[in-house]
Chains A and B, each alone.
Chain A
């Protein structure tokens, strides 16, 4: 019995969400009295993988196959399944990302495992049951789910658990091969296109988010949102009406039918707070609402609020952040 953690890497580094996953997996292993091994995908340097020891990982398996740098659902599933068999892993932990969740669902069938996605807390293992808490109803509720199989797969929601840092601890990096062939990569992308990110902060991974709604009056005013986001090191986002009229790209749309985020800070500018939007943001740790309408429903879901004109308030906030830095 052991815990296997799937670690996603990009540009040679372990993604932040995967550091959280590594830490989560190590804590589950400690709960169950076993160790946590990681399997890396996406191509990281050996030094970066060794530093997963800081998260409590004892061993990292690394397959040097160059094609694993890009996502292939078939190849990743085979790689992780092979590693799980070798390590006799009964619990597999991944990020609830577009990679982790996609692979997790295939793996659950191949390994005959129970799967829970969008998990927000460590499991409860007392009383002979294995119970995880996960987000449901698009952020409007949670469900506690009993995973009944001998094998369990858990996809952990981003920014819902803290990555630990026991400085200086090193994991052993072990070379590993799943003997992947050409056929395994049949579903690999032929091309990968990355977006231009304002300030380089990706919304799904962001700890701070500045978001704009219809109250911004038009795409030409987004500079005010971007200025504050840049000063804070935040990602930018928007409400559904804004992406529907193409003021902003759809991948910035936060809400029930867009993406759900759970940053430490969500600043909503000129967003009234429809129930579908709140569903996408209500697991944010701190919510700030700026709206000229004191009756905007978003204020009821906020921690801090400013009743005022976003066009006057935003420059003041940006100036205050610059002063503080």
Chain B
């Protein structure tokens, strides 16, 4: 079984978001970048399934410039076998999906996994686009993934419940908790990752279909109105009469 795991390079979850003075770009200064937390579920699950089968390969794919390589090496240290970097800044979801679809087609992957969404642009788009470009099923967002031969059984989260979905390979799934416990690299992994293959390839396809004109931060709160704990019931009156939300 050939697994392709797509990872995105995102600001650490503790990052305070700021933009360049013209609000056109995210300000990367001083920001620590990590593997997108949702993608870690995809990566670990692929490694677990490969180990359980006793055969197969896990290839990590990233669309990004050279500065994403530390996180690609981290994915190799966690247990992926090799990596591919499409040498381009990710312009939009469509552009990224084109790159993934091209790599997937070329390499004949059976299972294409990624996180449910990236925590920076929050598109929740790439999985469906890749599935449609390749003409294969997409299961998103998946909470559970098991394989038996070339048949996969997944649990898909829906509002208020879950669906059990069975699909044959090849397919695309976007992953989220509680699929597995994401692994962290151990020393041996870090050592071996240095020599694992990382192939850099040029981008393909059509230009992006969306462009960001400007970013904005949410409006600041006016300041908190404190209610003494002994008069806690007054809060409910304020919510009814002043804030008018109940």
Contact = CB atoms under 8 A, between A and B. Distances in A.
Tell me whether A and B are bound partners: yes
Interface of A: 70-71, 73-74, 77, 96-99, 101-106, 108-110, 113-118, 129, 131, 133, 135-149, 186-195, 197, 202, 204-205, 208, 232, 250-251, 256-257, 264-265, 275-276, 282-283, 285-289, 299-309, 312-313, 316-317, 319-321, 323-324
B127 A105 contact: yes
A116 B125 CA distance: 9
B239 interface: yes
B139 to A, nearest CB: 7
Contacts of A105: 93, 124-129, 132, 138
Interface stretch (B54-62, B67-75, B159-167, B193-201): B159-167
Which secondary structure dominates where chain B touches chain A?
Answer: mixed
B128 A73 contact: yes
Interface stretch (B42-50, B82-90, B183-191, B224-232): B224-232
Contacts of A204: 159-160
A305 B210 contact: no
Nearest to A202: B160
Given A137-B119, A141-B215, A186 B164 contact: no
A99 B232 contact: no
A320 B226 contact: no
B131 interface: yes
B123 interface: yes
Contacts of B214: 143-144
Is chain A's interface secondary structure helix, strand, loop, or mixed overall? mixed
Interface stretch (B1-9, B11-19, B105-113): B11-19
A251 B236 contact: no
Interface string B220-245: 01101111110011111111100101
Contacts of B121: 136-137, 143
Given A265-B245, A307-B229, A302 B224 contact: yes
B125 A115 contact: yes
Q: Which 10 A-B pairs have the closest CB atoms?
A: A105-B128, A308-B229, A320-B233, A189-B163, A194-B161, A109-B132, A320-B236, A316-B232, A191-B164, A114-B209
Given A104-B125, A304-B238, 20 more contacts: A73-B131, A73-B138, A98-B141, A99-B158, A106-B128, A109-B129, A109-B132, A114-B209, A138-B119, A147-B210, A186-B167, A190-B166, A193-B164, A264-B245, A282-B218, A286-B239, A286-B245, A306-B228, A308-B229, A312-B229
